[in-house]
A and B are shown apart, each in its own frame.
Chain A
Amino acid sequence: MEDHGQQPRKHVFAINTSPEFLNIVRELFQEEGYNVTTTNFAPNSFQQIEALQPDALIIDIAIGQEAGWELLEQLSADADTAGIPALVLSTDARLLARAEAQASRYGKHRYLAKPLDLDAMLAAIREMIGTP
């Protein structure tokens, strides 16, 4: 896990299996003034989020991998993390629509289909937590 910010600014926590994707997110949000933590999916991802209490999450859901969905369920079920908003990304818009319809299970989040539109990602995070 890498912590790229030093000042007490709004904190975005991005989690993904692709280091290239995480680099893009880190550069984008750091340039906009956010404090950014990036990490790969790991068995202790939930504990990391619970400990850091970021202002927002960016979670990329990979097809065929349950880690992202399980993490969302775990976050939604825990009182300490249920209030953390997430921007959920996937290459499958239909999958995202189904998840959005199950807010009681996965939490009430924002969903964006890939390929990435950086302006849309920034706008979504700003809507959720405001400017840095």
Chain B
Amino acid sequence: MPPDPDEAASDAHQLRHDLLSSLAIVSGQTQLLQRQLRRMDGFSDGDRQRLETGLEVILTAARALGTRIEDLPGLRDARDET
């Protein structure tokens, strides 16, 4: 039996929302740590640089993944049908 188009669209819509919501947590927590790191003392310059770089890498990857999710054809259609 072929999938119900409405049900498939709904599933895609929910999947898109779930993926972006999880990504929002990763992104939000990373930004929070970046803000806290800027206020923290006691790191050597090298350690601070490594932490800043690592958090920036996470944030950049999360943003790139968000863009990929937005552009996936099945999920993009789900957004357009909202």
Contacts and interface: CB of A to CB of B under 8 A. Distances in A.
Contact of B28 (A24, A62, A91): A24
Contact of B13 (A63, A115, A118, A119): A63
B41 to A, nearest CB: 16
A91 B14 contact: no
A118 B35 contact: yes
Size class of the B contact interface (CB-based, 8 Å): 20 to 34
A115 B20 CA distance: 6
A21 B25 contact: yes
Size class of the A contact interface (CB-based, 8 Å): 20 to 34
Contacts, number: 61
Interface of B is mostly: helix
Contact of B21 (A18, A28, A117): A18
B32 A24 contact: yes
A27 interface: yes
Interface of A: 18, 20-21, 24, 27-28, 31, 62-64, 91-92, 94-95, 114-119
Interface of B: 10, 13-14, 16-17, 20-21, 23-25, 27-29, 31-32, 35-36, 62-63, 66, 79-80, 82
